[in-house]
Amino acid sequence: GAVVSQHPSRVICKSGTSVKIECRSLDFQATTMFWYRQFPKKSLMLMATSNEGSKATYEQGVEKDKFLINHASLTLSTLTVTSAHPEDSSFYICSARDRAGGTNTGELFFGEGSRLTVL
Amino acid sequence: AQSVAQPEDQVNVAEGNPLTVKCTYSVSGNPYLFWYVQYPNRGLQFLLKYITGDNLVKGSYGFEAEFNKSQTSFHLKKPSALVSDSALYFCAVRDMGGGSYIPTFGRGTSLIVHP
């Protein structure tokens, strides 16, 4: 299956600083990537849909000025948590669809996740 | 609208016994259905999907799932559980007739296989 790489896997930062998380599709082009946040009780929350070359689409309740998403190429999307606070500590996961051949049945391929801890 | 329910927060099974993780869905059209597995501190891995055709779908690691249209279910099964199967399992659905191409995920079910 398609491979999605996410970096860093773990990051610890001080309150007030910004943190950037990268998501790369390694062997396919992803016009669309998705960013999820996973809470301690395991549920996945879709934060935003990242579209190559255009603005991201944020889900209701997600602060777009807080969670900056950039999708500058067909293989890279970045999530920047700006002015991080302890409540932003979480597990962030990106995913992408492989649209090879113009077909898409909807399965997503996920990165390994990034554990953010804000002190 | 599309939705999916995983009614069990946790499933416990002894190693060697068959396991079932339940999933029911709701869509306005026909469904695409998926199962993913997540190991601790890892991303989700795709296990299997149902698009069309045979109701019994076989996937990775010996898992299979049965699509039941009348019961709107897509339960994940394995004939003989392994301790290494212990993980978090997510069911997801996408409505083929809907406007969204983004699948909806269930809340996840923790599978614990006891030695």
Name the phi and psi angles at A75, rounded to 5. -125, 5
Scanning every residue of chain A, which has its alpha carbon at the shortest distance from the alpha carbon of B6? A43
Mutate to test the interface with B, among A50, A59, A107 (most CBs of B within 10 A): A107
Q: How many beta-carbon contacts under 8 Å exist across A and B?
A: 52
Q: Is B108 left (phi over 0), alpha (psi -120 to 50) or beta?
A: left
Residue B29: what pLDDT?
Answer: 87
Pick A107's closest partner by Cβ from B34, B108, B110: B34
With pLDDT > 70 as the criterion, what percentage of chain A qualifies?
92
Question: Which residues on B lie below 8 Å from A43 (Cβ)?
Answer: 107-108
β-strand pairing of A108-110 with B3-5: unpaired
Task: Give the pLDDT confidence of B26-68 residue by residue, as tens digits.
Answer: 998 889 999 999 998 889 999 999 988 899 999 999 999 999 9
Output b/e per residue, B11-35; b: 16+ Cβ within 10 A. Answer: bebeeeeebebbbbbebeeebbbbb
Mean pLDDT of the B67-81 span: 97
The helix/strand/coil state of A102 is helix
Give the angle subtended at the CA of B109 by the CAs of B58 and B87, to the nearest 5°. Answer: 70
Mean pLDDT of the A92-103 span: 73
